[in-house]
Chains A and B, each alone.
Chain A
Amino acid sequence: MNFEQSDDRRMLSETLRRYLADSYEISHRNAVAYDAPFHDPTKWAELTELGLFYALVSEDRGGMGGHGFDIVTVFEELGRALCPEPVLGQLMAASLLTDADPLMAGTRYTLAIGESDAPYDLQDITTSCVNGRLTGRKSVVYGAPAAEILLVAARQNGKIALFEMPAENAEITGYGMIDGGPAGEVFFDDTPATLLLEDAENALQNAMDRGALALCAEALGAMEVVQDTLVDYLTTRKQFGQPLGAFQALQHRAIDVAIEIEQARSIVILAASADGTEAFAKRAAQAKHLVGKIARLVAEEAIQMHGGIGITWEYPLSHYAKRLVMIDHQLGDTDWHLERLMKGLAGGS
């Protein structure tokens, strides 16, 4: 057994950590994350130059990574820095495209899957394709206003198929999210699109599960920062002549937070290790279920133990807390993944 990271991945995480710490100092992060275009295109270009997207693509397609552990390495750092760049679309596209070169060169991809009545489940998608033209609406598409290429899940001949189109062909209304970063409504009205995969359900679910793993890793990175912030605060803020951390009522809660973060780390490692195996869907669901719960607990407890300052815009923790809670609204929430696991149990797995 060996829980050490490989040297390559350690170097990747160190490089990324340094770059992101310099580039997304919280005031800059907030300035770009909450105002159009809700991310920083200059920094996107720099991340491309750093070779970030090579880490998301497997070697057989010209990349330098693409495994679950690479995903975790990258997204944990993005989470630490609360980076608003729409890298998630890049990751999910990486496992769906045959030609990943443009993606590695920085062309921005976004996956348009969820709809207002089908937020997470592929089965319920109603956007349809007839004669190579799409009609329908995708709702709260992460990264949409920043996208150059859209990959769209739509129903064709009774199957869920995958299409590709330049983002400018669709009508996109972009907006920012409560926790920062771009999203948008995407409308198709007899919009031409290129078919990528006729029967895409399994491939899409796998891409979504890899996306879920990435979100879990992002949450883990953010939780590490929150925990450091919390411990710093509890040991320095004084009330009643003592540091807050001297009150046992708070000590025990801070410890519970720390225990849960270790659990999150473990389930993320487990899910990453299962990438490419049959167990991956189940592991990803377990991870997203647990991390959804833990991230909310960490956010709420950290705010509460800070008192008023924890809910101010000025204090970075509040933005981390928002991200931690809102991650549960992406690619299946705690309950949605729990239901997947329950179905698995009923099916004997």
Chain B
Amino acid sequence: MDLSFSPQELAFQAEVRAFISKALPKDIAARVADGSGPTRDDMHNWHAILNDKGWLGGTWPAAHGGCDWGPIKLHIFEEESALANAPRIVPFGLKMLAPVLMKFGSAAQQSELLPRILDGRDWWCQGYSEPGAGSDLASLKTRAERDGDHYIVNGQKTWTTYGQYANRIFCLVRTRSDGKPQAGISFLLIDLDTPGVEMRPIRLIEGGFEVNEVFFTDVRVPVANLVGAENDGWTIAKYLLGHERTNIAGTGFSVQALAQIKALARTVKRNGKPLIENPLFAARLAETEAELEAMKITNLRMLSKAAAGGQLGAEPSMLKIKGTVIRQSLNDLARRALGPAAAPFPSEDLDNLAITPPNHSHNAADYFNNRKISIYGGSNEIQRNILAKGMMTR
């Protein structure tokens, strides 16, 4: 057994690290580090920088302008990005829609849409969930009825991440209502500036805006915007879910968060001593670090299996659960470490008061916001259901 990266992988890691440290604008990294960003422009600009380098579609095949990274290279890239406080690549266009178009899209859809994803002309958002269809996605009700060369779409999507920045949405819509619910779903691309589309922001617990509701009233969508065959949307959705699971463990974020908490616990004081010397806090930190080390290896074992062409079964669900729980524990520790200083509502006006050490004024906000990670992308309960079904079926 050998736990280390190969010489080629190490060389790639060094290359990525060197590039990011040179190319990532300092102000963007600062906004990621202190929790106040990234802004829309930060994400857009970072995408453009990566696209110039040819790394934006790292995992895309060369034929579509990508670099054919396998799972290990992708992991290295994502971990280095997180450690350097780079904005996370917005996944909806690059990692969700693109693979779908490559597999199910027409030649015309591929040649028109893929370049626009890379160069940032299109910002896609994901229209799956509805008020009545969350975990039970197949019960979705948004209807698309055929009218000549168009579908007429009526209904509502919700939780649409970054919908306020997007110009297009890919949706699961109902095109048939008899038979099994899964069998009547289609995958439809919709321009958000089509008449009848209305986007409304949803404010989240910590006060920020990242998700939206989208309402469709008699929205006319060309039939050419259908991906795959009519009523074949569920197959596509399942295929796409497989892609949503790259970087599911988020180890880079956790490693970065752990380092920040250690530094914080050396700075802040409790009972006259640095918090890191407090046995109760130190115990929690040490426990979480051991958990994280184990998960990093679990993650690498899975990547290594995938890289060797192995079929992944339970691993993504396990990593989703463990990865989110560890990240949430780290958010919890970062919040607690501040004591009362965690309480102020974050605001730039307070920065000069230095109530917390630099980069930590959002610790409580991040803790509350990150309750989302065990809910979205298939909640941790749904992941357990998937795992249990696999385990109990012999």
Contacts and interface: CB of A to CB of B under 8 A. Distances in A.
Say whether A and B bind each other: yes
Interface of A: 34, 114, 116-121, 123-124, 139-140, 173, 175-179, 183, 185, 238-241, 247, 249-250, 296, 300, 303-304, 307-308, 310-314, 318, 321-322, 325-326, 328-330, 333, 335-336, 338-339
B85 to A, nearest CB: 23
A177 B369 CA distance: 16
B343 A119 contact: no
Contacts of A304: 371, 374-375, 379-381
A308 B375 contact: yes
B136 A140 contact: no
B336 A313 contact: no
Contacts of B132: 238
Contacts of A321: 205, 368
Nearest to B342: A329
A326 B364 contact: yes
**10 residue pairs, one from A and one from B, having the closest CB atoms:** A313-B203, A119-B339, A140-B340, A239-B136, A318-B205, A335-B280, A117-B269, A311-B205, A240-B136, A177-B343
A329 B339 contact: yes
B342 A326 contact: yes
A326 B135 contact: no
B61 interface: no
Nearest to B280: A335
12 contacts: A34-B345, A123-B271, A139-B355, A177-B343, A177-B344, A179-B343, A304-B375, A308-B372, A308-B376, A311-B369, A313-B207, A329-B342
A237 to B, nearest CB: 9
Contacts of B134: 239, 307-308
A123 B271 CA distance: 8
Given A303-B371, A307-B134, A308-B376, A333 B269 contact: no
Interface in B207-227: 207, 211
Contacts of B272: 118, 121, 123-124
B347 interface: yes
A117 B357 CA distance: 11
B344 to A, nearest CB: 5
A168 to B, nearest CB: 20
B204 A313 contact: yes
Given A116-B355, A117-B269, A185-B355, A178 B346 contact: yes
A312 B339 contact: no
Nearest to A306: B375
B280 A339 contact: yes
Interface of B: 129, 132, 134-136, 139, 158-159, 202-207, 211, 268-272, 278, 280-281, 332, 335-336, 338-347, 349-350, 353, 355, 364-365, 367-369, 371-372, 374-376, 379-381, 384-385
A310 B203 CA distance: 12
Contacts of A124: 269, 271-272
A18 B307 CA distance: 64
A32 to B, nearest CB: 14
Contacts of B339: 114, 119-120, 329, 333
A308 B204 CA distance: 9
Nearest to A328: B336
A139 B368 contact: no
Contacts of A247: 381
B345 A175 contact: yes
Contacts of B207: 34, 178, 313
Contacts of B342: 178, 326, 329
Given A308-B159, A318-B205, A178 B340 contact: no
A178 B384 contact: no
A304 B385 CA distance: 15
A307 B364 contact: no
B280 A183 contact: no
A277 to B, nearest CB: 26
A178 B202 contact: no
Given A140-B340, A239-B135, A307 B365 contact: no
A250 B381 contact: yes
A320 B22 CA distance: 44
A176 B345 CA distance: 6
* Residue in B342, B346, B350, B380 whose Cβ sees the most chain A Cβ within 10 Å: B342
A336 B371 CA distance: 25
A303 B205 CA distance: 10
A185 B349 CA distance: 13
A177 B139 CA distance: 40
Contact of A183 (B204, B344, B369, B375): B344
Given A119-B340, A311-B371, A185 B353 contact: yes
Contact of B205 (A114, A177, A313): A313
Contacts of A325: 335, 364, 367-368
A240 B135 contact: yes
A311 B375 contact: yes
A185 B385 CA distance: 49
Contacts of A307: 134-135, 375, 379
